Amino acid sequence: MNKFFFIFCIIVFLFKTQTVFSNNLIYDVNNIEVSGKINKFSDKEKLIHSAFQKAFKNFINKTLLKEDAARLYKTKINTIKDLVFAYQIIKEKKNESKENVLIVNIKFDQKK
């Protein structure tokens, strides 16, 4: 009886985790690194926008064929911002040339 219960638990676990592992990973782009000088708030916003663009290019490269991805490289920042579900600045530091370096994780909206 214990063997059947154990096997049943393993089978249920495999079927339940199959959708959990595959659902969200494709829409996340992690560890995007951008650098530039930040003197005021608008400069930091420009750095975040460049992180969005870099993450979007990584995202379309891992989800689309090269021929289809090439058409989307020129997507405007307003469209990309609309596709972003959430972002998180992981680390903010200064490099040797006194530029600020941001490391950002970005999650794109699955429905859009």
Instruction: Tell me the pLDDT tens digit for each residue of 58-67.
Output: 999 888 888 8
Please check whether residue 103 lies inside any domain of the structure. yes
Please check whether residue 17 lies inside any domain of the structure. no
In this predicted structure, what is the pLDDT of residue 96? 79
Q: Please count the structural domains in the chain.
A: 1
In this predicted structure, what is the pLDDT of residue 63? 86
Please check whether residue 12 lies inside any domain of the structure. no
In this predicted structure, what is the pLDDT of residue 1? 66
Please check whether residue 2 lies inside any domain of the structure. no
Give phi and psi for 110, each to the nearest 5. Answer: -70, -35
Please check whether residue 52 lies inside any domain of the structure. yes
Give phi and psi for 40, each to the nearest 5. Answer: -145, 180
In this predicted structure, what is the pLDDT of residue 25? 57
Give phi and psi for 38, each to the nearest 5. Answer: -120, 110
In this predicted structure, what is the pLDDT of residue 8? 77
Looking up tokens 């379309």 gives: 60
In this predicted structure, what is the pLDDT of residue 37? 84
In this predicted structure, what is the pLDDT of residue 51? 93
87 is in which domain, residue-wise? 26-108
Domain of residue 103, CATH code: 3.30.1660
List, for the chain, all residue ranges whose pLDDT scores fall below the cut of 70: 1, 14-25
In this predicted structure, what is the pLDDT of residue 15? 66
Please check whether residue 3 lies inside any domain of the structure. no
Q: What is the helix (H) or strand (E) element at residue 5, kind and residue range? A: helix 2-23
- Provide the whole-model pTM: 0.73
Close Cβ partners of 35 (under 8 Å, ≥ 6 residues apart):
47, 95, 99, 100, 101, 102
